[in-house]
Structure 1
Amino acid sequence: MSTVPATSAGLLAAERPAHRDGNVLRWLAAYTASMMGDNVYYIALSWAAVRAGSPAQAGAVMAVSALPRALLMLGGGVVVDRLGPRKVVIGSDAVRCAAVLAVAALLFVTSGLWPLALLALVFGTVDAVFVPAVGALPARITAKGQLARVQGLRGLAYRFASVAGAPLGGLGVACGGAAAAFGLAGLLIAVSVPLLVSVRMRELPPDDNPGARDTTAWRDLVAGLRYIRRHRILAPLVLAIALGDLGFVGPLNVGLTLLADERGWGASGMGWVLAGFGTGAAAVSLLLAVRGTVSHAGHVASYAILAGSVAIGALACVPAAAAAAGVALLIGLLAGLSGAMCGALLQTQAAPAYLGRVTAVSSLVSLGLAPLSMPLTAAAIGAWGTGPVFVVSAAVCGLAGVVLLGARDLRRAELPR
């Protein structure tokens, strides 16, 4: 991947919208292929774990990746800002590809849980640097005025990968078992590497590049945390993202499964609810990708979070699957809108030199800590029922909206045009 001076790259990106910029589209294709590989990988891992062990052992294998991701995420942000997101994304995708293909080959000659647990551990460790790098890369390939549109394009790619990846994973398992599905996942991730190599990235000025200074990784981490804490927009924004994820991840994952079982919706009913949510989120991503920006981004994010928290609480009160799918559609619209606004504001407000660390902190809860809260959510539902747990989760989400409204600079924040 080549680099060009920041001024010429910025002018080049400003001359054409992101959805017509070949550089952005190559990155988007790489991201889509990588995310599809991720989805196929998770299907293969869950299937192989269930076939090789007990349900409890399978659950343990699926959870193995969460711990290293949570422990190493902040350090991963430092690595991204010191080495640059380009090197980290390419390197981490190469490692992920090699690990998946190695396990695919191993499963042809052996079985058991240990190769699956080792693969999950490697994936979680690599994710600790991959996630911050993915968050830091868009600001280095396009102008600030296009970052909101890139956020919409990324959301569409993520939804497409989720919709297409699951059937591909199931087809791989049906045709050749878990080994074939792992092989397919590795090939999809491999597609992303040459695409990423071809993406042009603008260089940072030497004064803005932490890697150019003679400092330790620990000092870089402290400097990044201090930068977020002192920033009038990023500090409350990161807090709001964390609260929103804490209140959202549990109910809309394990909580929804238990709610569907309690109401007798069955697997098909739960599928319609998930489809409603995905449709709403994809519609918002499409809107942002087409429009390129939204006025009054801070206010929009605040009110969308507050309305979405009410909808989350209402989901536990809906008796019929069809009505629940409608509520889930509304949740998807509101959560997609607030998430896109928060993500775009984070991208545009953070200095590129700190974006790896900022992304690491903002992703720590959603991808590192929130998955670990799922067993607690299930235990709470078992003790108090779905209704109270959904209401408490909705209140936590609502606190995110209160934080956004209470921070004047964030409330008034706008996206570049």
Structure 2
Amino acid sequence: MTGTLIVPGTVTHRPAHRDPNVLRWLGAYTASMVGDSVYYIALSWAAVQQGSPAQAGVVMAVSAVPRALLMLGGGVVADRFGPRRVVIGSDMVRCAAVLAVAALLFLTSPGLWPLALLAVVFGTVDAVFMPAVGALPARVTSRDQLARVQGMRGIGIRFASIVGAPLGGLGVAIGGAAAAFAFAGLLIAVSVPLLISVRIRELPADDKACARGGTAGAGEAAGGPGASPGAGVVGTAAPDKADTHPTTPLGDLRAGLRYIRGHRVLAPLMLAIALGDLGFVGPLNVGLTLLADERGWGASGMGWVLSGFGTGAGAAALLLAVRGRLPHAGHVVGWACLAGSVAIGALAFVPNVLGAVGVALLIGLLAGLSGAMCGALLQTRADPAYLGRVTAVSSLVSLGFAPLSMPLSAAAIGAWGTGPVFVGSAVVCGLGGVVALCVRDLRRAELPG
């Protein structure tokens, strides 16, 4: 059922937005993301209905634990078994779990335990789903189209965030949490036949060997001048005899971490992403809520500010999807991150909602541009055989470590106020841009054209 459809590794010159294979992948990804959004609305509503607010908070947060603990292992799974197969399996498990809970809620009132169990299942599956999703684009299109695909993926994410919440609310209004869960399961199910029809590229044998503990050529593994422009950044040196033997998952994980650590572009890029997310997540989540309350903007004002941010981020994704690539990618990452950090710091000093919406739109545009370019560089500079593990590390940084800044931001705002905390977060975010501009290989990194 999940057998792999393989196409030759030759480069196609068809733009990604006109490639039916890429569009099938994008349709599957978007349907799955919309289903995710509906699922979170259904889960939060059901948790509040079945328990106290504190218990509901625990249910909503419990999925983060297995996701953070298992994310690196999920990258190994994606690289060992193939990202397409892992994504299909993940969506099938998520669909079955959501529909089972929907049926249970329809037939009885079971309390919180099935909701907590569902959250744990989702968190566990997300640990393999996210790295596989990050590794899949490199197997469905050519390297020169990966930046455009990153923009298309960003548009899918924005579409899911805009459409998913109203659909989830509509499902709850029509038939309660059970109906919303059933709707989420059906949306996730739509992705499975689309993914089955997606054709992927098989990895060359030497890439597979290097990815399982082999040693890449020094110039290419480092992303330096010796890198072959048509083959990613993995070396062409023949693997040792021992590298042709099957390796353990732990060995694959160590090989992936060594690969990232020794890569002159990916290693500093991971640091830049970590600093940018740490400085961004706190102010634009809990910090914005507290700022809106302090200024008397209310929930509607906060909603308008968030809409401005979403519009800017969507515009950045659309720009990359239309252009396909932007020159001087490393410079764009650094300067966009620095300018975005200044806008984050300025947000705390804007006196009215209209001004805050304008600043938030600028933050979304700059942060969206920086994030999309970081994603495109990860996609194009990492060898496809390592992309599951590379994506796992970047996802762990963004989804595992960065959210820790939210309670810290809230506590700091309580102690010192919004202004100093927003400025401090802006400094941390700006350090990511400093890293991008100070590390020569990252600063000079380009997207394939």
TM range (shorter): over 0.9
Q: Go from structure 1 to structure 2 and tell me whether the alpha carbon gap of 1:165 and 1:400 turns closer, same or farther (over 3 Å shift).
A: same
Separation of aligned partners in 1, 2:95 and 2:415: 42
- 1:371: which partner in 2? 403
Q: Which runs of 4+ in 1 moved over 3 A?
A: 210-213
- 1:346: which partner in 2? 378
- 2:224: which partner in 1? none
Deviations 1:126-163 (A, max 9, x none): 10000000000000010000001001100111101110
Amino acid at match of 1:38: D
Map 1:210-359 onto structure 2 (within 5 A): 210=211, 213-359=245-391
Deviation of 1:377 after TM superposition, in Å, equals: 2.4
* Structure 2: 5+ residue stretches without partners: 213-243
Deviations 1:60-110 (A, max 9, x none): 111101111111101110111111101110001111111111111111212
Map 1:2-401 onto structure 2 (within 5 A): 2-7=4-9, 10-11=10-11, 14-108=12-106, 109-209=108-208, 210=211, 213-401=245-433
Separation of aligned partners in 2, 1:176 and 1:80: 37
Identify the structure with the greater helix proportion. 1
Separation of aligned partners in 2, 1:247 and 1:297: 21
Separation of aligned partners in 1, 2:166 and 2:381: 38
Separation of aligned partners in 2, 1:4 and 1:220: 24
Amino acid at match of 2:154: G
1:141–1:200 contact (8 Å) kept in structure 2: yes
Q: Go from structure 1 to structure 2 and tell me whether the alpha carbon gap of 1:213 and 1:174 turns closer, same or farther (over 3 Å shift).
A: farther
1:6–1:204 contact (8 Å) kept in structure 2: no
Deviation of 1:383 after TM superposition, in Å, equals: 2.2
Separation of aligned partners in 2, 1:223 and 1:193: 31
Q: Secondary structure at the match of 1:110?
A: coil
Separation of aligned partners in 1, 2:72 and 2:413: 31
Separation of aligned partners in 1, 2:339 and 2:245: 45
How high is the TM-score relative to the length of structure 2? 0.90
Deviations 1:32-61 (A, max 9, x none): 000000000111111111222222221111
Deviation of 1:5 after TM superposition, in Å, equals: 4.6
* Structure 1: 5+ residue stretches without partners: none
2:312–2:362 contact (8 Å) kept in structure 1: yes
Deviation of 1:384 after TM superposition, in Å, equals: 2.1
Amino acid at match of 1:206: A
> What is the number of equivalent residue pairs in this alignment?
413
Q: Secondary structure at the match of 1:34?
A: helix
Separation of aligned partners in 2, 1:105 and 1:385: 47
Deviations 1:224-247 (A, max 9, x none): 000001000000001111111111
Q: Go from structure 1 to structure 2 and tell me whether the alpha carbon gap of 1:377 and 1:53 turns closer, same or farther (over 3 Å shift).
A: farther
Separation of aligned partners in 1, 2:412 and 2:49: 29
Separation of aligned partners in 1, 2:316 and 2:100: 38
How much is the aligned-residue C-alpha RMSD, in angstroms? 1.2
Amino acid at match of 1:74: L
